[in-house]
């Protein structure tokens, strides 16, 4: 995870990450609502001190998983463990969890102090200790001195920080976050991503983060669990899931991808010759054993394709190079998105850094991609 600069105000809270034992574990968990299966036979492990993101589209089961960990929903089958203890029958207020929601869930009629202190009332914390704990939590989220204000007097970003302070003041074993940034504008979301990232590292608390936003998942997570239709599609580090997707859904959901059907023509070591349906031949550097004639799907990220004028040299040696014409382009500030039709008729999506003058529509160009940036997915015959 990236490390950002932020004042560590409460030094005694700062702890290092410990990835030795699982903080949360799901074994064979199934959740049904009537005839609808929301989560299908799920096994997951959340390591102590890690930030794990449940990523997927709406309705994929990620929030249901979070609610089962919290105790807001009961599994239809399977078991959930927190700190090694089975908690299926343990009520939410006895699980020592901090929760942050999309809509902040602050009490509008209570002061910031009372909002943050709310969870301490149910944990037998002495009154003379409550004030100190609230002040420390507010310092951690960089909002000292707002104890006497009301939620309506704070901005959306500040309210989200108060929700974070309320969640961490109880010193939870696990922090659960359900789409906490989706109500914020883009610039504020970026700032809050850094805040959550830094705070989680300072506290060292195991965090389960639910989002449909791939940028949030890739920038913050130790591990990403990609979900779709109640099934776990893939789990791994951000680099693993992004660069080595194990199926079409993961490759398509994470980033802008091009997909090409073809068959393996030849293999020498980890270099594969791939013949596409449109007749083009690609050299692909990909691990694994492949046989001539194996049907495959090649995946190339839009950022991996390089677009140049026809008289420019390839960006590097040994690239796959094809001629084409720009059919559409979109200028996006720092980037330009191109749709290039190759001579074979195949359309390629390429995203590159914006130059002083972007290449215009209907211009003849060359498209290049290095073999190491071409991934392969096996296709059932």
Superfamily of domain 11-96+172-251: P-loop containing nucleotide triphosphate hydrolases (3.40.50.300)
Strands (E), 118-230: 174-178, 206-211, 223-228
In this predicted structure, the answer to whether residue 5 has a pLDDT above a threshold of 70 is: no
Pick the CATH number of 256-378 from 3.30.360.10, 3.40.190.10, 2.40.50.140, 1.20.150.20: 2.40.50.140
16-30, 109-123, 275-289, 300-314: least confident range: 16-30
> Looking at the predicted structure, is the pLDDT value of residue 358 above 80?
no
Average pLDDT over residues 227-240: 97
| Residue 255 confidence (pLDDT) | 87
pLDDT band at 104 (very low <50, low <70, confident <90, very high): confident
Residue 52, helix vs strand vs coil: strand
Place of tokens 């079409």: 248
Domain 11-96+172-251 identical in fold to domain 256-378: no
Domain boundaries, the chain: 11-96+172-251, 256-378
User: What pLDDT score does 1 carry?
Assistant: 39
Task: Map tokens 């191109």 to a residue.
Answer: 338
Closest CA to 348 of 326, 316, 331: 326
Give the confidence band of 381 by pLDDT, cuts at 50, 70, 90.
low
The secondary structure of 315-327, three-state, reads CCCCCEEEEEEEE
Query: What are the counts of helices (DSSP H) followed by strands (DSSP E) for the chain?
Result: 8, 20
Structure tokens at 30: 């199934």
Position 217 confidence tier, pLDDT thresholds 50, 70, 90: very high
CA distance 220 to 211: 11
Predicted pLDDT at 17: 43
Query: How is residue 329 written in tokens?
Result: 């382009």
* Model pTM score: 0.87
């Amino acid at each position: 995870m990236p490390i950002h600069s932020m004042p560590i105000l409460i030094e005694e809270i700062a702890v290092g990450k410990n990835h030795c034992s699982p903080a949360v574990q799901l074994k064979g968990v199934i959740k049904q609502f009537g005839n609808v299966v929301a989560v299908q036979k799920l096994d997951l492990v959340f390591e102590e001190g890690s930030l794990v993101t449940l990523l997927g589209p709406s309705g994929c089961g990620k929030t249901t998983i979070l609610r089962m960990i919290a105790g807001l929903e009961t599994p239809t089958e399977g078991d959930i463990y927190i700190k090694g203890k089975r908690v299926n029958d343990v009520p939410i207020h006895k699980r020592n969890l901090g929760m942050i929601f999309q809509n902040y869930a602050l009490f509008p009629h209570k002061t910031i102090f009372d909002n943050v202190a709310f969870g301490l009332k149910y944990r037998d914390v002495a009154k003379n200790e409550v004030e100190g704990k609230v002040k420390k939590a507010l310092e951690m989220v960089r909002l000292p001195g707002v104890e006497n204000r009301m939620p309506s007097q704070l901005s959306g970003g500040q309210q989200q920080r108060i929700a974070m302070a309320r969640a961490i003041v109880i010193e939870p074993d696990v922090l659960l976050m359900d789409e906490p940034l989706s109500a914020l504008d883009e610039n504020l979301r970026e700032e809050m991503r850094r805040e959550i990232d830094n705070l989680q590292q300072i506290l060292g608390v195991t965090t389960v983060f639910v989002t449909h936003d791939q940028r949030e998942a890739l920038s913050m997570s130790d591990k990403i669990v990609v979900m779709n239709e109640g099934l776990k599609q893939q789990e791994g580090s951000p680099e693993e899931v992004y660069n080595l997707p194990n199926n079409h859904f993961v490759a398509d959901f994470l980033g802008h991808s091009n997909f090409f059907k073809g068959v393996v023509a030849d293999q020498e070591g980890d270099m594969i010759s791939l013949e596409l349906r449109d007749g083009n031949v690609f050299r692909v550097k990909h691990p694994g054993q492949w046989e001539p004639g194996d049907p495959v799907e090649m995946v190339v990220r839009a950022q991996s394709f390089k677009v140049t004028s026809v008289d420019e040299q390839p960006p590097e040696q040994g690239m796959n190079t094809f001629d084409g014409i720009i059919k559409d382009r979109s200028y996006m500030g720092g980037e330009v998105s191109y749709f290039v039709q190759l001579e074979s008729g195949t359309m390629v999506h390429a995203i590159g850094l914006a130059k002083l003058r972007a290449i215009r529509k209907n211009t003849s160009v060359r498209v290049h991609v290095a073999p190491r940036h071409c991934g392969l997915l096996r296709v059932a015959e």
